[in-house]
Amino acid sequence: MINIILVAAIVITFVWYFYFKTKQFRTPLPIRKKWFGAKASVCLGSFLLFFGINFIIIYQSSITYVVAGLFILLGGYFTYHNVKVAKHYGQFVEEELSINQ
């Protein structure tokens, strides 16, 4: 059951990553580009985190623990750092939109 939940989370975070990356490439506004890039990186970090946890559950060997631990650490760092970056740029998105219209 937990494996199904993790696989669903992996698929959802990958789809959201692709969505935000597409939005990042399509927008002409620079702050909004950085904001969408940070949101995409949050989804990528979540993808790595869920993938690492799922990897530990499915395969159980010492090499798996090392590789999955690396995925979990990197995913946690990407998620934590880019949540802060997205909050920072989120403050300026509305202001940039009103200036450029």
Say how many domains are in the chain: 1
pLDDT tens column, 60-100: 899 999 999 999 999 999 999 999 999 999 999 888 888 88
Q: Average pLDDT of 8-19?
A: 97
Residues whose CB is less than 8 angstroms from the CB of residue 84 and which lie 6 or more positions away in sequence, other chains included: none
Cβ burial of 98 (10 Å; 0-12, 13-18, 19+) is exposed
Q: 54 lies in which domain range? A: 2-99
5 neighbors 24 (Cβ within 8 angstroms): no
The verdict on pTM exceeding 0.85 is yes
pLDDT one-digit tens code per residue, 21-32? 999 999 999 999
pLDDT in tens, 27-52: 999 999 999 999 999 999 999 999 99
Backbone angles phi, psi at 29, to 5 degrees: -85, 130
Distance between CA 14 and CA 35 in Å, rounded?
A: 18
